[in-house]
Amino acid sequence: MSLALVILYLAFCVYVGFLGRDRVIGFSGTFLLSLILSPLVMALVVLLTRPKEG
């Protein structure tokens, strides 16, 4: 895997983490799960779940 693809993958994981920062698991949880699972899967999860209340 080339370095550019690794950087792109990590950048997308960070972006998904920022999308999930107002969810229950927060930025770090969303970021780590997007690293483990897939940024696309976690982006769908983030977009389909509601933000945390309060």
Confidence of residue 31 (pLDDT cuts 50, 70, 90): very high
pLDDT (0 to 100) of residue 52: 85
What residue type is assigned to position 34 of the chain? S
Element (DSSP H or E) covering residue 30: helix 26-36
As a whole number, the mean pLDDT across the chain is 94
Longest dimension (CA), the chain: 42
8-21 per-position pLDDT tens digit: 999 999 999 999 99
Domain boundaries, the chain: 3-48
CA angle at residue 31 from 46 to 26, to 5 degrees?
A: 60
CB 14 within 8 A of CB 31: yes
- pTM higher than 0.75, yes or no? yes
Across the range 35-51, mean pLDDT stands at: 94
Kindly state the tokens that stand for 51.
Answer: 């933000």
